[in-house]
Amino acid sequence: GENVEQHPSTLSVQEGDSAVIKCTYSDSASNYFPWYKQELGKRPQLIIDIRSNVGEKKDQRIAVTLNKTAKHFSLHITETQPEDSAVYFCAPRDTGRRALTFGSGTRLQVQP
Amino acid sequence: GAVVSQHPSRVICKSGTSVKIECRSLDFQATTMFWYRQFPKQSLMLMATSNEGSKATYEQGVEKDKFLINHASLTLSTLTVTSAHPEDSSFYICSARASGGGYGYTFGSGTRLTVV
């Protein structure tokens, strides 16, 4: 199965700063790489995803970069705002199980 | 967009009783649904993959006789926690993919189970 590592586990930034979270995975056949935001007691919300034939994708303040050779992908949030405070999970798709395998999560705190 | 409805959102049950959680795809057909469990301040861990018309596939360490999964139609999967114990208290959440594949995974709103 897919082994996923996510770093850092916690991240505190000042409002307006950038935040970067990194995820490494083991399944070289993985072809789908999403990032989710989860608020307390709620379902995970997809914030951005990337497929294996693309190296970078951007959506306003959020971007994801993928390095398939090194088997890692990163979430970049620019101009952070207090409402960005939440737990973020990477969840690369395990091609064997066809399921998403979630990383351990990163608690992002944006200080006003 | 694709919507998955999950019920109940919260349930409190006594030790030894059983609880059924329903996950329904409202506007698409899902041949495959996934059941996750999330303990406080932890990640989502895949428990099992539910396949319409066939047996579920359970992850290592998940007791199939304790967590009964039924996927009788293309729009409904159920998870029954049998003989619940306090250590089963957790957030259970389902996810579905539309038939035909693609990359979209839709999540239910989750069920907070508390066993007392």
Q: What is the pLDDT of residues A33-73, one digit of tens each?
A: 999 999 999 999 999 999 988 899 999 999 999 999 999 99
Tell me the pairing of strands B111-115 and B10-13: parallel
Q: Are the Cβ atoms of A43 and B97 closer than 8 angstroms?
A: no
Looking at residue A52, its pLDDT comes to 85
Contacts with B91 from chain A: Cβ below 8 Å: 41
pLDDT value, residue B52: 85
Tell me what pLDDT residue A1 has.
76
Secondary structure (3-state) at A38 = strand
Which residues, 6+ apart, have CB-to-CB distance to A96 below 8 Å?
Answer: A1, A2, A27
* pLDDT exceeds 60 at position B101: no
Residues A89, B43: C-beta atoms closer than 8 Å: yes
Is the CB of residue B13 less than 8 Å away from at least one CB of chain A?
no
Distance CA(A92)–CA(A25), nearest Å, equals: 7
Preceding omega of A8 cis (within 30 degrees of 0): yes
With an 8 Å Cβ cutoff, is A99 touching chain B?
yes
A89 and B CB contact within 8 Å: yes
Residue B79 has what pLDDT? 97
